[in-house]
Amino acid sequence: MTQIEAARKGIITSEMKEAAVYDNVSPDYLMRMIAEGKAVIPNNVNRKARLVAIGKGLKTKVNASIGTSSDIIDVEAEISKAIAAEEAGADTMMELSVGGDLDSIRKKVLGVTNLSVGSVPLYQAFKEAIEKYHDPNKLTEELLFDVIERQCADGISFMAVHCGINRLTIERLNKQGYRYGGLVSRGGSYMVGWMLKNNKENPLYEKFDKVVEIFRKYDCVLSLGNGLRAGAVHDSLDRAQVQELLINCELANLGQDMGCQMMCEGPGHLPLDDIEANVKLQKRMSADAPFYVLGPLTTDIAAGYDHISAAIGAAEAARYGADLICYVTPAEHLALPNREDVIEGVRAARIAAHVGDMVKLGKKERDMEMSKARRDLRWDDQYNLGLFGEKASEIRSSRSPEEPDTCTMCGSFCALDNVGGYFKGSLEIGPKR
């Protein structure tokens, strides 16, 4: 029985209880959200992971992606990145290798992390088609579904599966005159090429019930991939992207009715003024199915600092209802990220998630406590309350002030130290509003 099937029978599973603790919500609330298709728990009956729930009324979660490329196949480096991502505070992880022995790499990553791990099965399917037939367009349906089953059997908890690319979405892409930024989804571009070359419908769409049945078997979350996501801000909310989103929203509800946990994925590159519309469109059309967004990146010219561009977009997306953020690293658009890139990407996304949740969930208490700790120059409390207390302590200690209560930014000119004594009687009362 899957989580959504249990929830619709009023059963609170052990997985729901565990995930509810992480978010400090009641198991009954989480059960109701899962029953309504508004929350999911990335899970797999073949692997025990540290479970978190994703969806309505829950903290915005952060995903970190790792994986080899065709140019750099260093399995130990990917294992190091997986460990670093978890230590940096990622909630979930995606293993997205395309180079090397993919079955072996996946199993090794699953063995070193406690997080729920996701994947994109099209990568492996097309890689194996190239190795077997020397042509990705000779991929067979049998091989495609075999890869999906194989990855589920290994313990993958959620998969981005590109079911929403069909003849209609490609027609939209043609009619609008292609794109400024082209197609940037690796899995999506291969599937579009396969369909055009073979003049066939996407088997992941045409045989959606077969996809769902595999996922139900393992209680794995089917995340509907955004193969036509915008890879440039000027392609944001174009007809092809919106057409795929519409199909994905329909499939999300269909999959839920079939007893499968479902999630939709989103772009990509979006200017700030399109983010609210994109999130609300997905939420409205899918009846509040969980929304997983990559970034979104808010400008195309920040290479080297794309983790900042993405954090700006992610904070806005979370504010309006996005549920899971896929981090972006400083190496985006430039190179395969290294361990430090992964850490910086996770940290930037965690800030974005918190900023969004301050509005979405009205959670500002921690910021209030930090304000008071700063006002009173309680440094240890500031380190404990901060998202990155160890880093904050390291920076301050590296430039020790002459006056121990202050920092070297202001030293003896510390505004808080200079005036705080005059208002000691008011500290516990708090300001009137």
Quick: pLDDT tens for 316-365.
Answer: 999 999 999 999 999 999 999 999 999 999 999 999 999 999 999 999 99
- What are the E-state strand segments in 121-195? 158-161
Low-confidence stretches of the chain (pLDDT < 70) are 425-430, 432-433
φ, ψ dihedrals at 367, nearest 5°: -65, -35
Same domain, 227 and 319: yes
Kindly state whether residue 418 falls inside one of the protein's structural domains. Answer: yes
Instruction: Report d(CA 167, CA 197) in Å as an integer.
Output: 12
Same domain, 319 and 407: no
pLDDT, position 401? 87
pLDDT at 381: 96
Contact between 393 and 383 under an 8 Å Cβ cutoff? The reply is: yes
Output the DSSP codes for 176-199: TT--SS----HHHHHHHHHHHHHT
Q: What is the domain extent for residue 384?
A: 367-426
Question: Which of 360, 392, 416 represents a domain boundary (last residue)?
Answer: 360
Q: Which of 305, 328, 360 is the last residue of a domain?
A: 360
Q: Does residue 13 belong to any structural domain of this protein? A: no
Can you tell me the distance from the alpha carbon of 110 to that of 421, in angstroms, rounded to the nearest whole number? 55
Q: Are residue 165 and residue 242 in the same domain, yes or no?
A: yes
Residues 219 and 324 grouped into a single domain: yes
Q: Are residues 194 and 133 in the same domain?
A: yes
Per-residue tokens: 42: 């990335």
Residue 133 and residue 45 share a domain: yes
Kindly state whether residue 125 falls inside one of the protein's structural domains.
yes
Distance between alpha carbon 274 and the CA centroid of its chain, in Å?
A: 19
State whether 372 and 356 are in the same domain.
no
Residue 251 lies in a domain: yes
- Return the bridge partners of 50, or none: 115
Residues 378 and 309 in one domain: no
In a domain, 431, yes or no: no
Token readout for 365 is 């208490």
Residues 67 and 127 in one domain: yes
Q: What is the pLDDT of residue 426?
A: 65
Residue 26 domain-assigned (yes or no): no
**Token pair listed for 127:** 């890689």
Number of compact structural domains in the chain: 2
Q: Is residue 244 part of a domain?
A: yes
Q: What is the CATH number of the domain that holds 183?
A: 3.20.20.540
255 and 391 share one domain: no
Last residue of a domain, which of 331, 360, 389?
Answer: 360
Domain annotation covers residue 30: no
The pTM score is: 0.95
Whether 351 and 376 share a structural domain: no
Do 270 and 147 fall within a single domain? yes
